[in-house]
Structure 1
Amino acid sequence: MILPIVAYGAAVLRKVAADITPDYPGLEQLIADMWETMYASNGVGLAAPQINKDIRLFVMDSAQIFDNQDEDEENNYPDAPGTKKVFINAHIKKLNGKDWAYNEGCLSIPNIREDVNRPEEVELEYMDEHFVKHTETFNGITARIILHEYDHIEGKLFIDYLKPLRRKMLQGKLNDISKGKSKVSYKMIYIK
């Protein structure tokens, strides 16, 4: 089932999400719905707060970025051909490498894209959808998507990385998003 995406301005997007246990009600269906919602919205990642659930859960599929690259696009990312994973109760262990800029967007903040600097590599401890514990290092585009989605479960948004003047310049657009005045091709909900 395709779920509505929570728009910028909702309190759930600013809340630190809680760990869950394997008996979380309807978890298997929730994960399936998150995949369906993410793909239907043309996203590469989706965190539970974006569907109004304050739990530490996100899904991501960086393979889509590589699959959709033009043949002439330069591919200097070490994580090709990408990764598709479910992350439950994720916690960052370590960040490594230099910060690098990439133009990011967010399903909860439609029609705004900005360059964001993030580290090259992240070491993450998480559970998969079967509650098997992993400690794994990710890099490249995959690391970037993970860090973006991880921010969601920490109550942060990509616009928090922007310089104050740039944020101020975007405030009108952000206000419009929170009031439902932004056109999107997917279902959004506007809550406070």
Structure 2
Amino acid sequence: MKRTILIHPDPRLKKVCAPVADVTDDLRKLADDMLETMYDAPGIGLAAPQIGVLDRLIVLDCVKEENETPRPLVMFNPQVLASSDDTNVYEEGCLSIPDQYAEVTRPKTVEVEWLDRNGAVQRETFDGLWATCVQHEIDHLDGKLFIDYLKPLKRQMITRKMQKLKRERARA
């Protein structure tokens, strides 16, 4: 089931999410809904707070080529264990901040640990776009948005655009 994606500014997007104590059928269903919502948007990552759920759950799939097999990942309680000193700059966007993009510098590679949909501990090192995406989504779980990395003026400008967008959608 597709869910509604919250648009910034929304207080739920600035909250720190609670750890998932146990991976239940309800949470697996939520993860499936999030994947459906993410693919439909379309996007490469989605965090639970973006649909108003304050649990530490993210989904991502950075496979973008038509002929490549999708690689949907579901991560409960993801955490970065290690990150490289080398950095990458990517032009980031966010489903909660539609049509706004900005360059963000993040570690080039990160080692992440999480619980999968069966509750088993997984660990993997991500690099490139996957590393950027997983860091972006984990930030959401800590109430941080990609625009928080920007200079105040640019951040305020984007926030004003989102306020206007929300007013326009409310009238529609």
RMSD (CA atoms): 2.2
Deviations 1:52-80 (A, max 9, x none): 0000000000112xx059xxxxxxxxxx9
Mapped pair 1:44 → 2:32: no
Three-state SS of the structure 1 residue aligned to 2:85 is: strand
Structure 2 equivalent of residue 75 of structure 1: none
Deviations 1:15-65 (A, max 9, x none): 11111123546112111111111111101111000010000000000112x
Within 5 A, what are the aligned runs for 1:80-99? 83-99=71-87
Gaps spanning 5+ residues in structure 2: where?
none
Mapped pair 1:113 → 2:101: yes
Check whether the contact 1:83–1:142 (CA below 8 A) recurs between aligned residues. no
Structure 2 equivalent of residue 15 of structure 1: 15
Q: Distance in 1 between matches of 2:22 and 2:84?
A: 31
Check whether the contact 2:44–2:62 (CA below 8 A) recurs between aligned residues. yes
Q: Distance in 2 between matches of 1:117 and 1:82?
A: 26
- TM-superposed CA distance for 1:125, in Å, is 1.5
The structure with the largest helix share of the pair is 2
Q: Relative to 1, partners in 2 of residues 1:18 and 1:103: Cα closer, same or farther, differing over 3 Å? A: same
Q: Distance in 2 between matches of 1:144 and 1:68?
A: 21
Check whether the contact 2:23–2:117 (CA below 8 A) recurs between aligned residues. no
Gaps spanning 5+ residues in structure 1: where?
70-79, 183-188
Structure 2 equivalent of residue 147 of structure 1: 135
Check whether the contact 2:3–2:51 (CA below 8 A) recurs between aligned residues. yes
Structure 1 equivalent of residue 32 of structure 2: 32
Q: Distance in 1 between matches of 2:162 and 2:132?
A: 23
Return the match for 1:138 from 126, 142, 159: 126
Check whether the contact 1:57–1:87 (CA below 8 A) recurs between aligned residues. yes
Deviations 1:142-177 (A, max 9, x none): 011101101100100000011123223334213224
Check whether the contact 1:56–1:153 (CA below 8 A) recurs between aligned residues. yes
Letter in 2 for 1:11: P
Structure 2 equivalent of residue 77 of structure 1: none
Within 5 A, what are the aligned runs for 1:124-135? 124-135=112-123
Letter in 1 for 2:45: G
